[in-house]
Amino acid sequence: MAQRKTSQRQAVQAVFESAGRPLTVAEAHESAQQSVESIGTATVYRAINALVDEGFLVPVQVPGEPDRYELAGLAHHHHFHCTGCGKVFDVEGCPGAMKNLCPPGFELTGHEVMLYGRCGECASAA
pLDDT value of residue 70? 97
pLDDT score for 93: 82
38 contacts 6 by C-beta, under 8 angstroms: no
pLDDT, position 5: 52
Contacts 24+ apart (CB under 8 A), 61-69: 61/112, 62/88, 62/114, 63/114, 66/24, 66/25, 67/24, 68/22, 68/23, 68/24, 68/27, 69/16, 69/22, 69/23, 69/24, 69/25, 69/28
> What pLDDT tens digit does each residue of the chain (126 aa) get?
333 457 899 999 999 999 999 999 999 999 999 999 899 999 999 999 999 999 999 999 998 899 999 999 999 899 999 999 999 999 988 887 888 899 999 999 988 889 999 999 999 997
45-71 pLDDT tens trace? 999 999 999 999 999 999 889 999 999
Q: How high is the pLDDT of residue 3?
A: 37
Helix (H, G, I), strand (E, B) or coil at 13: helix
Residues 11 and 35 sit within 8 Å (Cβ to Cβ): yes
pLDDT of residue 4: 45
